[in-house]
Amino acid sequence: MRKIFILSLTFLFVLTLSPFTQADEIKIGACIYRFNDAFMLRFRNAMSAESEKAGAKIEIADGQDDQTTQNDQIDAFIADGVNVLIVNPVDRMASQPIIDKAKAANIPVVFINREPTAEMLNSYEKAYYIGAKAEESGTQSGELIAEYFKAHPEADKNHDGKLQFILLKGQNGHQDMILRSKYSVEAIKAAGIEPVEIASAIANWDKLQAMNIMNAFAMAIGPENIEAVIANNDEMALGAVEALKNSDYNKGDKDFYIPVVGVDANASALEAMDKGEMLGTVLNDADNQGIAAVKLAVALASGGDVNAIGYDITDSKYIWIPYQKVTRGENK
């Protein structure tokens, strides 16, 4: 009897003092800026699958593109006693209060997809960011267009040696909107082609908005005067493709074709590429970003070694997942 008592006391003691938490006790509170986003859906699926694999519990909240809603969700997760937060902020510039709350509760926080400033991340040693380098995707999508333009002299519809393009941009202030827009155009210049922006608009990553905008542009400018469409993501590229099809472009006839590029490599974009409706895209690796986010979260919550999760951590803060060009060989 006495022996059992001592044994169970020891057991209790070990349980309370151990800095390590078993994976099956870990609760992850994850916040996504908006569920209705094709790329973030892939991201969510990757995180759910990896959590199941790790035996951790994950709860994912839909911020509905509203920072106030998301802040409430973060408060609720903290009150609920989650061991770690994964946050895809609605407004990346509003990340500081989130970091402050996590710090006050001593809960690690892993940001994904929308990058807080270095200053914000540096204000808490348990704050991290996992994403992909936006400039890299910009460069790669610009290269896709430049390669096509060089391989297809007929793509220079007005024979002026310059590339008249339309730019469709994601949400204002998003690093992927700013840097993809900039670097795609830089890559065209670097390839020795003079880019001429004939129109641009913000379409908030959204297919329908992009389609409406592109319909208006095609009407105003005339599709015969558009030599390329560069979209900050696939959904907007697909919206542009729909609009061009309304003008009887990009339906298979090479004389009525405008190269369109996006970013993400969502299944719907790959399908459009297979059908010859869209030129190319850049793989935004949701699987690896989601897996890395959960592995890092589990390591942080369990007192494990963050450097042993299989992903390089830069500056004790960042995990960068590389982008990759995807084409169907039309560039050759």
Tokens of 9: 């006391």
Contact 168, 236 (CB under 8 A): yes
Q: How far is the CB of 199 from Ca ion (least distance, A)?
A: 14
Site for Ca ion in 29-88 (CB under 5 A): none
What is the separation, in whole angstroms, between the first and last Cα of the chain?
81
Q: How far is the CB of 309 from ligand GAL (least distance, A)?
A: 22
Contact 244, 258 (CB under 8 A): yes
Q: Are strands 127-131 and 109-112 parallel, antiparallel or unpaired?
A: parallel
Q: Which is nearer to ligand GAL, 39 or 249 (CB)?
A: 39
User: Where do we find the tokens 């959590």?
Assistant: 51
Q: How far is the CB of 37 from ligand GAL (least distance, A)?
A: 5
User: Choosing among Ca ion, ligand GAL, none, which partner's interface includes residue 160 (Cβ < 5 to 8 Å by kind)?
Assistant: Ca ion
Closest CA to 296 of 111, 119, 63, 48: 111
Q: Which is nearer to Ca ion, 179 or 193 (CB)?
A: 193
Q: Which is nearer to ligand GAL, 111 or 205 (CB)?
A: 205
Q: How far is the CB of 150 from Ca ion (least distance, A)?
A: 13
Which residues would be at the binding site for ligand GAL (CB under 6 A)?
33, 37, 39-40, 113-114, 174, 176, 205, 233, 263-264, 284
Mark the segment that binds Ca ion (CB under 5 A) among 13-21, 105-113, 149-157, 238-246: 149-157
Asked if 160 is part of the footprint of Ca ion (rule: CB under 5 A), the reply reads yes
Q: How far is the CB of 21 from ligand GAL (least distance, A)?
A: 30
User: Where do we find the tokens 């509003």?
Assistant: 94
Q: Which is nearer to ligand GAL, 203 or 306 (CB)?
A: 203
Q: How many residues bind Ca ion (CB under 5 A)?
A: 5
Interatomic CA distance for residues 290 and 121, integer angstroms: 19
Within the chain, what is the greatest distance between any pair of CA atoms? 95
Q: Which is nearer to ligand GAL, 54 or 213 (CB)?
A: 213
User: Choosing among ligand GAL, Ca ion, none, which partner's interface includes residue 233 (Cβ < 5 to 8 Å by kind)?
Assistant: ligand GAL
Interatomic CA distance for residues 16 and 56, integer angstroms: 20
Q: Are strands 280-283 and 324-327 parallel, antiparallel or unpaired?
A: antiparallel
One of 59, 91, 156, 186 touching Ca ion (CB under 5 A): 156
Contact 279, 144 (CB under 8 A): yes
Interatomic CA distance for residues 164 and 221, integer angstroms: 11
Q: How far is the CB of 228 from ligand GAL (least distance, A)?
A: 19
Contact 54, 294 (CB under 8 A): yes
Instruction: Please report, as ranges, the residues that interact with Ca ion according to CB under 5 A.
Output: 156, 158, 160, 162, 164
